[in-house]
């Protein structure tokens, strides 16, 4: 792996673990096994490197979520698959956590990939809900965009509850709670 690649990957890890404010160039360089010069040769500085890292993380999240949402099954089953997909719950969401970083939110450039990813996710799920309404799986009174926002929020908030308690249990409880509310009549939400 090239030095530039190692810098991006180290930054991705640290942004996930400690956020933007909590990640220093020094820590990135140590993890990447590189010197100061390399970082400032390949990137303009911390914000520029962070942008590259955030963009890549956002792309990966889209690919992973997209794979589940495009999977087999009814609309309910695909949303369930998204909610139950394998996660390192206590690590939190590598994209969503950035919204609590003051320097990320203050920068349109750093915030953009975060915003776009969560927006894409909501629209993707909203379409699946609408599909479920057409099929009669979901009540016609439901609004796709609203339910999608609730789905994504439950996941993002589930991370908060899990990290607060130090256990994934609260995340799982929230997911089960939402699924029990969303479940088609007669469906066992498990």
> What is the contact surface with DNA in residues (CB under 7 A)?
2-4, 23-27, 33-38, 40-42, 45-47
In the bound state with DNA, the residue whose beta carbon lies nearer, of 33 and 73, is 33
For residues 129 and 141, is the Cβ–Cβ distance under 8 A?
A: no
**From the list DNA, a second copy, none, partner contacted by residue 156 (C-beta under 5 to 8 A by kind):** a second copy
Size of the site for a second copy (CB under 8 A): 56
How far is residue 40 from each of residues 25, 26, 35, 52, 156, measured CA to CA in Å?
10, 12, 9, 14, 34
Among 38, 160, 168, 184, binds a second copy (CB under 8 A): 160
User: Phi and psi for 184 in degrees, rounded to 5?
Assistant: -60, 150
Binding-site string for a second copy from residue 45 to residue 64, where x marks contact by CB under 8 A and - marks none: --------------------
Q: Is residue 30 close enough to count as binding a second copy by CB under 8 A?
A: no
In the bound state with DNA, the residue whose beta carbon lies nearer, of 32 and 147, is 32
Q: Is residue 89 close enough to count as binding a second copy by CB under 8 A?
A: no
Q: Is the dihedral of CA 136, 189, 174, 76 positive or negative?
A: negative
**From the list a second copy, DNA, none, partner contacted by residue 73 (C-beta under 5 to 8 A by kind):** none
For residues 65 and 128, is the Cβ–Cβ distance under 8 A?
A: no
For residues 151 and 121, is the Cβ–Cβ distance under 8 A?
A: no
């Amino acid at each position: 792996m090239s030095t530039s690649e190692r810098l991006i990957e180290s930054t991705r890890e640290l942004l996930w673990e400690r956020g933007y404010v909590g990640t220093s160039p020094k820590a990135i360089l140590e993890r990447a096994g590189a010197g100061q010069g390399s970082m400032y040769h390949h990137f303009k500085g911390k914000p520029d490197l962070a942008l590259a890292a955030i963009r890549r993380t956002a792309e990966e999240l889209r690919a992973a979520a997209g794979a589940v949402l495009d999977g087999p099954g009814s609309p309910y089953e695909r949303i369930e698959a998204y909610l139950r997909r394998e996660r390192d719950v206590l690590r939190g969401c590598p994209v969503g956590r950035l919204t609590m970083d003051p320097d990320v939110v203050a920068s349109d450039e750093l915030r953009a990939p975060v915003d776009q990813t969560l927006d894409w996710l909501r629209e993707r799920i909203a379409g699946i809900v609408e599909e479920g309404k057409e099929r009669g799986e979901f009540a016609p009174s439901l609004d796709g965009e609203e339910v999608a926002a609730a789905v994504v929020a439950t996941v993002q908030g589930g991370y908060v509850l899990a990290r607060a308690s130090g256990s994934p249990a609260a995340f799982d409880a929230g997911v089960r709670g939402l699924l029990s509310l969303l479940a088609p009549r007669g469906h066992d939400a498990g």
